[in-house]
């Protein structure tokens, strides 16, 4: 229990609380003028203060920082291979669209056991051709598109990317240049 003394001054009642410092308490108003000192009771404990919320977040952050590095992310190699396959498919489509838009031939050259592929002729807006870490190209393949977007070399062919025991094949349909991932 806490003890409250009423202080007098300037016509406004003020109270001095004696007890634990920083505790959440409320003054229990009394109709009886003779009941001094007043008794305090704790506030409704169903809420949380901002400090308590911040402390919980700090504890969760510390636990997350120590637990997450211990997980084995075997999914990351599959995700990297999937990402590399989608990147290659997108870049092949880019080469096809570039050839049609600029009325020139554009090639994408893949080299076996490499994680980089190149464009010919090179341009300032060409993608980097850098695959994600741990992903490599498994076969040599060159695809060239003419100004109509048709594959002149490499149509009907494919390039395979692999990493971490996962493999994806990106194929280019002859005549149309449509790109498929399997």
Q: Is 144 left (phi over 0), alpha (psi -120 to 50) or beta?
A: beta
Q: What residues make up the domain containing 160?
A: 84-181
Cα angle: 165, vertex 155, 117; to 5 degrees:
50
Q: Is the pTM of this model over 0.75?
A: no
Which two three-digit tokens encode residue 166? 């996962």
Q: What is the pLDDT of residues 90-129, one digit of tens each?
A: 999 999 999 999 999 999 999 888 888 989 888 887 888 8
Pair (141, 174) in one structural domain: yes
Give the whole-angstrom CA distance, residue 91 versus residue 81.
15
> Count of domains in the chain?
2
CATH of the domain at 100: 3.55.40.10
Joined tokens for residue 47: 């809420």
Query: According to the model, what pLDDT value does residue 29 have?
Result: 47
Ranges under pLDDT 70 in the chain: 1-47, 70-75
Using the 8-state DSSP alphabet, how is residue 42 labeled? Answer: E
How much is the pLDDT for 177? 87
Say which residues have a Cβ less than 8 Å from residue 57's Cβ, sequence separation at least 6.
none
Q: What is the pLDDT of residue 7?
A: 53
Beta bridge partners of 27: 40
> Is 20 a member of any domain?
yes
Asked if 113 and 48 sit in the same domain, the reply is no
């Amino acid at each position: 229990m806490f003890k409250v003394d009423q202080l007098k001054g300037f016509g406004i009642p003020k109270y001095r609380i004696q007890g634990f410092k920083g505790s959440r308490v409320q003054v229990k108003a009394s109709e009886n003028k003779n009941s001094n000192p007043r008794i305090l009771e704790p506030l409704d404990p169903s809420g949380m203060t901002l400090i308590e919320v911040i402390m919980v977040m700090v504890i969760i952050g510390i636990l997350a920082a120590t637990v997450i590095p211990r997980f084995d992310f075997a999914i990351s190699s599959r995700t990297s291979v999937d990402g590399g396959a989608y990147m290659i498919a997108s870049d092949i489509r880019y080469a096809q669209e570039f050839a049609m838009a600029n009325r020139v031939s554009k090639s994408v050259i893949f080299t076996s056991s490499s994680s980089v592929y190149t464009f010919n002729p090179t341009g300032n807006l060409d993608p980097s051709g850098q695959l994600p870490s741990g992903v490599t190209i498994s076969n040599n393949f060159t695809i060239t598109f003419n100004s109509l977007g048709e594959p002149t070399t490499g149509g009907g062919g494919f390039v395979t990317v692999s990493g971490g025991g996962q493999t994806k094949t990106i194929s280019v349909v002859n005549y149309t240049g449509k790109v498929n991932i399997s």
